[in-house]
Structure 1
Amino acid sequence: MMRKKLPIGIQTFAKIRGDDYYYVDKTPYALRLIESGSHYFLSRPRRFGKSLFLDTLAELFAGNEPLFRGLYCHDKWDWGKKHPVIRISFGGGRVQSRAELDQRIRWNLEQNRERLGITCPNVDDIAGCFANLIQAGEKRFDQRAVVLVDEYDKPILDNLTEPEVARAMREGLRNLYSVIKDQDAHIRFAFLTGVSKFSKVSIFSGLNNLRDITVSAEYSAICGYTEADVD
């Protein structure tokens, strides 16, 4: 029997599918999430496959149909709809000051603006630029935006030994994430991942429509491999 390669350390859905690595089909979970609600939070330790699942959602909402051929969702998804997907990640490198955090956020927003072909009237206004990206994306694609945030809490966790810095990170992130609540009418789907529970760090105060699926039995195998998968 010809064996495929194991996707060790790969968190890019297109690379796994394009280079014919082994892939455990997680699209049933993706469809269940999308059909059941619109705003979710998932906490898992690092290296559990959160980034890969987030990337799978991004490709699904972007309408990249060839990547999903042969998977559960292929004949159950409307490939004619392409949503503006906004992706923000704090997974790479350590942020050690509020100024560095704001710079990282602006870089994330700029990457999304370039990919979606959208300009921001005032790049110094982080919350305003994020809101503009969501609304302009909806107008450009004629579909509500999709917001995916990976490692939402890493700037805080990286600075836990420096309480003042950690608090500054929390305030900066709260400024960013408050936009998700404010722009609810323009967002089709939002999914945030991290290591800590959001209620513990008070970032999402007011974001009461965010469903925490961390310990939901129906989503227990949303990341990683089950024993049956390994067999």
Structure 2
Amino acid sequence: MEKATIKGIPYGVARFDEVRNENFYYVDKTMYLPLLENTSKYLFLIRPRRFGKSMFVSMMQEYYDIAKADRFDTLFDGLWIKEHPTALKNAFQVIYFDFSLAGAGMERLEYTFNDYCCAELDSFIKQYKDFYDETTFSKVLAEKDAASKLRLINAEARRKKYLLYLIIDEYDNFTNVILSEGGKEVFRNLTHASGFYREYFKIFKAMFSRVFLIGVSPVTLDDLSSGYNIDWNISQDPQFNYMLGFSESDVREMFLYYKSAGKLRPDADIEAMLAEMKPWYNNYCFAEECMDDERLYNCDMVLYYLRYQVSRGCPPKEMVDKNIRTDYKKLKMLADIDKGNQRENRMSVIEEIAATGSIVINLKTSFPAEYVTDDNNFRSLLYYYGLLTMKRSLGRR
């Protein structure tokens, strides 16, 4: 293998086009696109941080975007979907939001959210300028309210029968900030009644042919459901258990690739590396039906470990990547919730986990913010944040 052709390690890279154009290693997940299409037009998926969510939705954006049809052969060459394209390939105008970029705190919350959405919608109308008349184009750019921009785009797209696809990455990040910094009452005001965040989801419900929302927390899902009630939650669907994250087969194939390319030591023992990583990065499971199957690895952790082995010929001294650690505000929020859950003569949930190594959960698919302190809801929240995983079932729920 020539040195110039060796694929880079995509540690910290979250854009599919960057991975494909700059020759990074890519674990093919394109075979899940037909499954998603056949499941529902409106999908929710919850996974822990650093599990490949942004990479996956970036791949979806490239696949479905009508403006990128001329790049399909280049971007998807050698991948499963290249030989098995669906009828919806490059059939949509795509609106893509990453709500982790929509504000950094409680100060001027509504303004920063609106400002971010306006910027993305301006980019959208410029991207698809040839599809819209000059009047619509000018009105969208002149409008200062993001909801109004959406309505203008929706009206013209409906008139011309354009298909619109909404993809939102980190859809719950915005409300996680509210919940951790402002508390449950502020959160409720923004996601109920006439709260501005909930109003956006009312527009989304009527506007898009297909919607894919992905994030970490099930809290927002429940609080927005009455304003957005056409969703299908696939978070525990067994056919999507391996859609994000790396299987052990994926990791082994990746490490063997870098060993054959001469990037790992000639005497590198891949099986020993897998055994070393397992206690730290493995053991994730997202569907009860898959508990006896191969467990999943956290993507970020695997790439972090591999980068050390390639660059230094040894594992990292700190096996946990600092970039994946739960941020302090979120950790404080969880600790405060747990403290509020304590009963007389009873350990907190976190104390129980530390003492016994496991805990019994009736896993909730969603719950309102005001009930996040309930025992099963809080335990479920730890699972969705990636701090717990499925071990075994104690019977039918």
TM-score calculated relative to the size of structure 2: 0.52
Correspondence for 1:150 among 161, 165, 169: 169
Which residue of structure 1 lines up, in the alignment, with residue 286 of structure 2?
none
- Select the residue among 11, 26, 31 that pairs with 1:28: 31
Q: 2:182 aligns with which of 141, 152, 162?
A: 162
SS of the residue 2:79 aligns to: coil
Structure 1 window deviating more from structure 2 (146-155 vs 167-176): it is 167-176
For residues 134 and 6 of structure 1, the distance between their equivalents in structure 2, rounded to whole angstroms, comes to 40
Question: CA offset at residue 115 of structure 1?
Answer: 1.8
Counterpart in the other structure of 2:202: 178
Q: Which runs of 5+ in 1 are unaligned?
A: none
SS in 1 for 2:246: coil
Contact 2:168 2:213 in 1 (8 A): yes
Partner of 2:104: 94
Tell me the CA shift for residue 36 of structure 1.
2.9
**Counterpart in 2 of 1:71?**
79
Q: CA deviation at 1:230?
A: 0.2
1:207 is the counterpart of 2:219: no
Deviations along 1:70-120, one digit per CA (max 9) or x if unpaired, are: 111113225875421111111235142222222222222222222222524
**How many matched pairs?**
227
Q: TM-score, normalised by structure 1?
A: 0.86
Pairs within 5 Å for 1:32-51: 32-51=35-54
Higher relative contact order (CA 8 A, sep 6+): 1
2:209 matched to which residue of 1?
188
Aligned to 1:130: 150
Q: Residue 121 of structure 2 is aligned with which of 97, 109, 112?
A: 109
SS at match of 1:146: strand
Identity of aligned residues (%): 26
SS of aligned partner of 1:73 = helix
Report SS of the residue matched to 1:45. Answer: coil
Q: 1:80 to 1:207 in 2, by over 3 A?
A: closer
Once superposed, what is the RMSD of the aligned Cα atoms?
Answer: 2.5
Q: Which amino acid aligns with 1:29?
A: Y
The one-letter amino acid of 1:144's match is: L
Aligned pair 1:228/2:249, yes or no? yes
Distance 1:177 1:85, change over 3 A: same
Question: Which segment drifts farther, 202-211 or 24-33?
Answer: 202-211
Q: Which sits farther off after the overlay, 118-127 or 153-162?
A: 118-127
Shift in Å, 1:139: 5.8
Is 2:16 the counterpart of 1:13?
yes
Which whole-Å CA distance do the structure 1 matches of 2:188 and 2:53 have between them? 25
Is the helix fraction higher in 1 or 2?
Answer: 2
* Runs of 5+ unmatched residues, structure 2: 253-397
Alignment partners' CA distance in 2, 1:48 and 1:135: 36
**Where do 1:76-87 residues align within 5 Å?**
76-77=84-85, 78=87, 81-87=90-96
